């Protein structure tokens, strides 16, 4: 399983720059999209409710102006065109306000959703790395744990996990060193002892199997 949270540097070379994609921010789609959808709905409802209240206030003010203007020009029929012009202007302003509030509301929803996506990624990223290392440990692979990116959440939790992983890896390395010493001692003892025929063949087979096991363990620790 590849690790999208850290690039692997080439031996003796500079660390390559990791190119991010939008899909890389969705490490745990079920978890992240759940909260993004929740915030999108809540922010949409709040923005819509506030926009409706503002529009109602604006429309009430426009209607009040239209009524006052109608009362002032009721006795002067020559002011009818002026009244219609003012009413048309007020309606245009009301429509423009609706468009502006809709744009602001959509922009707010998009900004909050993207922000939450990034923030959940900073939590999902460390959890994804820990689960990846657990999967490797289940197969006996105990490589070096790479650090989190700067800005990731759960730094303390990850540091504790890294200490535990390093302790297990250190014990595994000690076991490998002990097995290597035992293998060397057994080969020296075999050369000094008088093993012949089937006994020698079985011992050689057992030592070869042990050597292969040690090589596999060392590979898992690389």
Lowest mean pLDDT among 17-21, 87-91, 207-211: 17-21
- The whole-number pLDDT of residue 16 equals 47
Please name the residue ranges forming H helices in the chain: 29-72, 80-138, 155-192, 197-221
Angle between helix 155-192 and helix 80-138 axes, rounded to 10 deg: 20
- The whole-number pLDDT of residue 1 equals 38
140 CB contacts (<8 Å, ≥6 apart)? 217, 220
Does the pLDDT of residue 144 top 80, yes or no? yes
Q: Which band of pLDDT confidence, cut at 50, 70 and 90, is reported for residue 214?
A: confident
Percent of the chain with pLDDT over 90: 1
Q: Where are the domains of the chain?
A: 22-139, 141-222
pLDDT (mean) for 53-60: 81
Distance in angstroms (rounded) separating the CA atoms of residues 148 and 130: 10
Does the pLDDT of residue 6 top 50, yes or no? no
Distance in angstroms (rounded) separating the CA atoms of residues 78 and 56: 31
Give the CA diameter of the chain.
Answer: 132
Distance in angstroms (rounded) separating the CA atoms of residues 99 and 148: 44
Taking the whole predicted model, whether its pTM rises above 0.85 is answered as no
- The whole-number pLDDT of residue 196 equals 64
Q: Which of 113-122, 162-171, 185-194, 199-208 has the highest mean pLDDT?
A: 162-171
Distance in angstroms (rounded) separating the CA atoms of residues 159 and 86: 68
């Amino acid at each position: 399983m590849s690790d999208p949270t850290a690039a692997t540097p080439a031996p003796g070379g500079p660390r390559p720059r990791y190119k991010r994609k939008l899909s890389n921010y969705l490490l745990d789609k079920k978890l992240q999209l759940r909260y993004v959808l929740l915030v999108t709905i809540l922010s949409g409802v709040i923005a819509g409710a506030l926009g409706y209240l503002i529009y109602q206030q604006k429309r009430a003010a426009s209607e009040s102006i239209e009524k006052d203007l109608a009362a002032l020009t009721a006795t002067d029929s020559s002011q009818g065109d002026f009244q219609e012009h003012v009413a048309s202007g007020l309606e245009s302003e009301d429509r423009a306000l609706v468009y502006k509030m809709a744009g602001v509301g959509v922009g707010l929803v998009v900004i909050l959703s993207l922000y939450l996506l990034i923030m959940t990624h900073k939590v999902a990223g460390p959890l994804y790395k820990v689960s990846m290392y657990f999967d490797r440990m289940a197969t006996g692979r105990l490589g070096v744990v790479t650090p989190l990116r700067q800005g990731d959440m759960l730094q303390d939790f990850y540091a504790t996990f890294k200490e535990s992983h390093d302790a297990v890896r250190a014990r595994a390395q000690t076991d490998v060193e002990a097995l290597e010493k035992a293998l060397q001692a057994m080969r020296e003892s075999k050369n000094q002892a008088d093993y012949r025929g089937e006994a020698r063949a079985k011992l050689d087979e057992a030592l070869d199997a042990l050597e292969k096991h040690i090589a596999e363990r060392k590979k898992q620790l690389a």
